[in-house]
Structure 1
Amino acid sequence: MIPTQKATPSLLTTSIPLSADQGLSIHRRDHSLGTTLTLSGEIDFASAPQLERAVRDCLHASVRSIDLDLAPLGFCDLRGLYAFIDATRLTVTAGGRLCLESPPPMLRRLLTLTGTHHLVSIVTDESIHCLPRTRLRVGPAAAPSRTARTGGVNW
Protein backbone atom coordinates (compact mmCIF):
# COMPACT_ATOMS: atom_id res chain seq x y z
CA MET A 1 0.00 0.00 0.00
CA ILE A 2 1.21 3.47 -0.80
CA PRO A 3 0.76 6.08 1.93
CA THR A 4 -0.68 9.42 0.95
CA GLN A 5 0.56 12.65 2.49
CA LYS A 6 -1.38 15.86 2.88
CA ALA A 7 0.17 19.12 3.95
CA THR A 8 -1.96 21.51 5.97
CA PRO A 9 -0.75 24.85 7.30
CA SER A 10 0.41 23.42 10.64
CA LEU A 11 0.05 19.69 10.28
CA LEU A 12 1.51 16.99 8.08
CA THR A 13 -0.56 13.82 8.00
CA THR A 14 0.12 10.45 6.48
CA SER A 15 -2.84 8.20 5.75
CA ILE A 16 -2.35 4.48 5.30
CA PRO A 17 -5.19 2.00 4.84
CA LEU A 18 -3.94 -0.89 6.97
CA SER A 19 -6.43 -3.62 6.31
CA ALA A 20 -9.91 -4.55 5.23
CA ASP A 21 -9.94 -8.23 6.17
CA GLN A 22 -12.51 -10.25 8.07
CA GLY A 23 -15.10 -7.48 8.35
CA LEU A 24 -12.80 -4.93 10.01
CA SER A 25 -11.16 -2.03 8.22
CA ILE A 26 -8.38 -0.06 9.93
CA HIS A 27 -7.16 3.22 8.50
CA ARG A 28 -4.03 4.80 10.04
CA ARG A 29 -3.44 8.54 9.99
CA ASP A 30 -0.16 9.84 11.44
CA HIS A 31 -0.07 13.47 12.51
CA SER A 32 2.11 15.72 14.62
CA LEU A 33 0.32 14.80 17.86
CA GLY A 34 0.41 11.03 17.34
CA THR A 35 -1.61 8.55 15.33
CA THR A 36 -5.32 8.02 14.75
CA LEU A 37 -6.54 4.55 13.85
CA THR A 38 -10.07 4.60 12.41
CA LEU A 39 -11.90 1.31 12.82
CA SER A 40 -14.95 0.49 10.73
CA GLY A 41 -16.90 -2.71 10.41
CA GLU A 42 -16.82 -5.43 13.05
CA ILE A 43 -14.23 -6.30 15.68
CA ASP A 44 -14.63 -9.82 16.98
CA PHE A 45 -12.68 -13.02 17.60
CA ALA A 46 -11.53 -13.22 13.98
CA SER A 47 -10.59 -9.57 13.48
CA ALA A 48 -9.25 -8.47 16.90
CA PRO A 49 -5.67 -9.50 16.03
CA GLN A 50 -5.69 -6.81 13.30
CA LEU A 51 -6.18 -4.11 15.94
CA GLU A 52 -3.47 -5.61 18.11
CA ARG A 53 -1.04 -5.62 15.15
CA ALA A 54 -1.92 -2.02 14.25
CA VAL A 55 -1.28 -0.82 17.82
CA ARG A 56 1.98 -2.79 18.05
CA ASP A 57 3.08 -1.29 14.70
CA CYS A 58 2.45 2.21 16.10
CA LEU A 59 4.42 1.43 19.26
CA HIS A 60 7.31 -0.05 17.26
CA ALA A 61 7.35 3.19 15.23
CA SER A 62 7.77 5.11 18.54
CA VAL A 63 4.22 6.50 18.46
CA ARG A 64 3.13 7.10 22.06
CA SER A 65 -0.19 8.87 21.49
CA ILE A 66 -2.80 6.67 19.82
CA ASP A 67 -6.42 7.61 19.26
CA LEU A 68 -8.89 4.97 18.11
CA ASP A 69 -11.71 6.59 16.13
CA LEU A 70 -14.60 4.19 16.71
CA ALA A 71 -17.48 6.22 15.28
CA PRO A 72 -17.77 3.97 12.18
CA LEU A 73 -17.53 0.71 14.20
CA GLY A 74 -20.63 -1.43 13.71
CA PHE A 75 -20.06 -4.36 16.09
CA CYS A 76 -17.83 -5.40 18.97
CA ASP A 77 -17.93 -8.65 20.93
CA LEU A 78 -16.07 -9.55 24.13
CA ARG A 79 -12.92 -10.47 22.19
CA GLY A 80 -12.97 -7.00 20.63
CA LEU A 81 -13.47 -5.46 24.06
CA TYR A 82 -10.45 -7.39 25.33
CA ALA A 83 -8.44 -6.10 22.34
CA PHE A 84 -9.19 -2.48 23.39
CA ILE A 85 -8.21 -3.17 27.00
CA ASP A 86 -5.04 -5.01 25.97
CA ALA A 87 -4.12 -2.24 23.50
CA THR A 88 -4.45 0.26 26.35
CA ARG A 89 -2.26 -1.89 28.59
CA LEU A 90 0.42 -2.26 25.89
CA THR A 91 0.43 1.47 25.18
CA VAL A 92 0.62 2.47 28.85
CA THR A 93 3.41 -0.06 29.43
CA ALA A 94 5.33 1.60 26.58
CA GLY A 95 4.92 5.00 28.24
CA GLY A 96 2.11 6.24 26.02
CA ARG A 97 -1.62 6.68 26.04
CA LEU A 98 -4.47 5.23 24.01
CA CYS A 99 -7.89 6.82 23.77
CA LEU A 100 -11.20 5.49 22.46
CA GLU A 101 -12.83 8.33 20.52
CA SER A 102 -16.56 8.37 19.81
CA PRO A 103 -17.32 4.77 20.78
CA PRO A 104 -20.76 3.71 19.52
CA PRO A 105 -23.53 3.20 22.10
CA MET A 106 -23.27 -0.60 21.92
CA LEU A 107 -19.57 -0.44 22.89
CA ARG A 108 -20.20 2.03 25.73
CA ARG A 109 -22.93 -0.31 26.99
CA LEU A 110 -20.60 -3.32 26.74
CA LEU A 111 -17.94 -1.45 28.73
CA THR A 112 -20.50 -0.54 31.39
CA LEU A 113 -22.12 -3.98 31.63
CA THR A 114 -18.75 -5.70 32.00
CA GLY A 115 -17.45 -3.11 34.48
CA THR A 116 -14.42 -2.40 32.30
CA HIS A 117 -15.16 1.24 31.42
CA HIS A 118 -12.58 2.41 33.98
CA LEU A 119 -9.79 0.50 32.19
CA VAL A 120 -9.84 2.69 29.07
CA SER A 121 -9.86 6.41 28.29
CA ILE A 122 -12.97 7.48 26.38
CA VAL A 123 -13.74 10.71 24.55
CA THR A 124 -17.22 11.25 23.19
CA ASP A 125 -16.82 14.87 22.05
CA GLU A 126 -14.34 15.21 19.19
CA SER A 127 -13.46 18.76 20.27
CA ILE A 128 -11.89 17.38 23.45
CA HIS A 129 -8.63 15.49 23.18
CA CYS A 130 -7.87 12.54 25.37
CA LEU A 131 -5.66 13.43 28.29
CA PRO A 132 -2.99 10.97 29.34
CA ARG A 133 -3.76 8.91 32.41
CA THR A 134 -1.31 9.34 35.23
CA ARG A 135 -0.06 7.04 37.96
CA LEU A 136 -0.88 3.84 36.12
CA ARG A 137 0.61 0.75 37.66
CA VAL A 138 1.33 -2.03 35.21
CA GLY A 139 1.42 -5.61 36.40
CA PRO A 140 -0.91 -8.32 37.64
CA ALA A 141 -4.29 -7.30 38.99
CA ALA A 142 -4.12 -6.06 42.53
CA ALA A 143 -6.46 -5.00 45.26
CA PRO A 144 -7.79 -1.44 44.99
CA SER A 145 -5.36 1.16 46.25
CA ARG A 146 -4.96 4.92 46.37
CA THR A 147 -4.27 4.83 42.65
CA ALA A 148 -7.76 3.45 42.04
CA ARG A 149 -9.35 6.20 44.13
CA THR A 150 -7.49 8.92 42.25
CA GLY A 151 -8.69 7.74 38.84
CA GLY A 152 -5.71 5.61 37.89
CA VAL A 153 -5.88 2.00 36.82
CA ASN A 154 -4.29 -0.98 38.51
CA TRP A 155 -3.21 -3.46 35.87
Structure 2
Amino acid sequence: MTVLTGNLVHHPNHSVLTLRGELDASSPDLITLAVDTVIDTGRQRLTVDVADLTFCDSQGLRALLHAERKLTAAGGAMELVHVHGLLGRVLGVTGLAKAFTITPSTV
Protein backbone atom coordinates (compact mmCIF):
# COMPACT_ATOMS: atom_id res chain seq x y z
CA MET A 1 0.00 0.00 0.00
CA THR A 2 1.31 3.42 -1.00
CA VAL A 3 0.03 6.32 1.07
CA LEU A 4 -1.48 9.16 -0.93
CA THR A 5 0.48 12.40 -0.93
CA GLY A 6 -0.48 15.64 -2.55
CA ASN A 7 1.30 18.83 -3.47
CA LEU A 8 -0.87 21.91 -3.98
CA VAL A 9 0.72 24.80 -5.87
CA HIS A 10 -1.08 28.10 -6.36
CA HIS A 11 -0.70 30.20 -9.48
CA PRO A 12 -2.32 33.61 -9.97
CA ASN A 13 -5.57 32.27 -11.49
CA HIS A 14 -5.54 28.58 -10.71
CA SER A 15 -4.05 25.85 -8.54
CA VAL A 16 -2.46 22.51 -9.37
CA LEU A 17 -2.84 19.48 -7.10
CA THR A 18 -0.36 16.71 -7.87
CA LEU A 19 -1.36 13.34 -6.41
CA ARG A 20 1.03 10.46 -5.77
CA GLY A 21 0.16 7.00 -4.44
CA GLU A 22 -3.18 5.35 -3.75
CA LEU A 23 -6.45 7.28 -3.69
CA ASP A 24 -8.72 5.15 -1.53
CA ALA A 25 -11.02 5.22 1.49
CA SER A 26 -8.21 6.45 3.74
CA SER A 27 -7.30 9.49 1.65
CA PRO A 28 -10.27 11.66 0.55
CA ASP A 29 -9.58 14.25 3.26
CA LEU A 30 -6.47 15.34 1.37
CA ILE A 31 -8.57 16.23 -1.70
CA THR A 32 -11.26 17.93 0.40
CA LEU A 33 -8.64 20.08 2.13
CA ALA A 34 -7.08 21.04 -1.21
CA VAL A 35 -10.45 22.03 -2.70
CA ASP A 36 -11.35 24.07 0.38
CA THR A 37 -7.99 25.83 0.16
CA VAL A 38 -8.48 26.62 -3.54
CA ILE A 39 -11.94 28.06 -2.88
CA ASP A 40 -10.80 29.98 0.21
CA THR A 41 -7.96 31.62 -1.72
CA GLY A 42 -10.38 32.83 -4.39
CA ARG A 43 -9.06 30.78 -7.28
CA GLN A 44 -11.54 29.54 -9.85
CA ARG A 45 -9.74 26.54 -11.33
CA LEU A 46 -8.09 23.41 -10.02
CA THR A 47 -5.96 21.10 -12.15
CA VAL A 48 -5.51 17.64 -10.62
CA ASP A 49 -2.44 15.86 -11.98
CA VAL A 50 -2.92 12.11 -11.57
CA ALA A 51 0.19 10.95 -13.46
CA ASP A 52 1.62 9.35 -10.32
CA LEU A 53 -1.63 7.90 -8.98
CA THR A 54 -1.10 4.15 -8.65
CA PHE A 55 -4.56 3.12 -7.44
CA CYS A 56 -8.06 4.54 -7.12
CA ASP A 57 -11.01 2.74 -5.57
CA SER A 58 -14.69 3.73 -5.39
CA GLN A 59 -14.05 6.05 -2.44
CA GLY A 60 -11.31 7.76 -4.40
CA LEU A 61 -13.66 8.26 -7.35
CA ARG A 62 -16.25 9.63 -4.95
CA ALA A 63 -13.70 12.11 -3.55
CA LEU A 64 -12.85 13.31 -7.07
CA LEU A 65 -16.55 13.68 -7.95
CA HIS A 66 -17.24 15.56 -4.74
CA ALA A 67 -14.29 17.89 -5.43
CA GLU A 68 -15.52 18.60 -8.96
CA ARG A 69 -19.06 19.31 -7.76
CA LYS A 70 -17.89 21.54 -4.90
CA LEU A 71 -15.72 23.63 -7.21
CA THR A 72 -18.51 23.92 -9.77
CA ALA A 73 -20.98 24.99 -7.08
CA ALA A 74 -18.49 27.69 -6.01
CA GLY A 75 -18.32 28.99 -9.60
CA GLY A 76 -15.06 27.24 -10.40
CA ALA A 77 -13.90 24.30 -12.46
CA MET A 78 -11.69 21.26 -12.13
CA GLU A 79 -9.77 19.28 -14.71
CA LEU A 80 -7.88 16.01 -14.53
CA VAL A 81 -4.57 15.73 -16.39
CA HIS A 82 -2.35 12.76 -17.20
CA VAL A 83 -5.18 10.25 -16.74
CA HIS A 84 -3.88 6.78 -17.58
CA GLY A 85 -3.77 3.18 -16.44
CA LEU A 86 -6.26 1.95 -13.87
CA LEU A 87 -7.90 5.33 -13.33
CA GLY A 88 -8.39 5.83 -17.06
CA ARG A 89 -9.93 2.38 -17.44
CA VAL A 90 -12.22 2.79 -14.44
CA LEU A 91 -13.43 6.21 -15.61
CA GLY A 92 -14.11 4.79 -19.07
CA VAL A 93 -15.86 1.60 -17.95
CA THR A 94 -18.08 3.36 -15.41
CA GLY A 95 -18.94 6.26 -17.72
CA LEU A 96 -17.54 8.69 -15.14
CA ALA A 97 -15.12 10.12 -17.69
CA LYS A 98 -18.07 12.26 -18.81
CA ALA A 99 -18.35 13.76 -15.31
CA PHE A 100 -14.90 15.34 -15.55
CA THR A 101 -12.96 17.63 -17.83
CA ILE A 102 -10.03 15.44 -18.81
CA THR A 103 -7.12 17.02 -20.63
CA PRO A 104 -5.25 14.45 -22.70
CA SER A 105 -1.57 13.96 -22.05
CA THR A 106 0.71 15.32 -24.74
CA VAL A 107 3.41 12.78 -23.89
Q: Could you tell me which residue of structure 2 aligns to residue 80 of structure 1?
A: 60
Say if 2:13 and 2:44, in contact at 8 Å, map to a contact too: no
1:70 partner SS: strand
The percentage of aligned residue pairs carrying the same residue is: 30
Q: What residue is the counterpart of 1:119 in the other structure? A: 99
CA root-mean-square deviation: 1.6
Structure ranking higher on relative contact order (CA contacts 8 Å, 6+ apart): 2
Aligned partner of 2:4 in structure 1 is 24
Q: 1:50 aligns with which of 14, 24, 30?
A: 30
> C-alpha separation between the residues in 1 aligned to 2:106 and 2:92?
21
Amino acid corresponding to residue 62 of structure 2 in structure 1: Y
| Residue equivalent to 2:40 | 60
Per-residue CA deviations over 1:21-45 (Å, capped at 9, x if unaligned) read x701110111123100000011100
Higher Cα Rg: structure 1 or 2?
A: 1
Q: Which runs of 5+ in 2 are unaligned?
A: none
What TM-score does the superposition give when structure 2 sets the normalisation length?
Answer: 0.91
Instruction: List gaps (5 residues or longer) in structure 1.
Output: 1-21, 128-155
Amino acid at match of 2:53: L
Q: Find the partner of 1:69 among 37, 45, 49.
A: 49
Indicate if the aligned counterparts of 2:83 and 2:105 stay in contact, CA closer than 8 A. no
1:54 is aligned with what amino acid?
A: A
Give 1:126 shift: 5.0
Tell me the matched-pair count: 106
- For residues 98 and 75 of structure 2, the distance between their equivalents in structure 1, rounded to whole angstroms, comes to 19
8 Å CA contact 1:40, 1:73 repeated in 2: yes
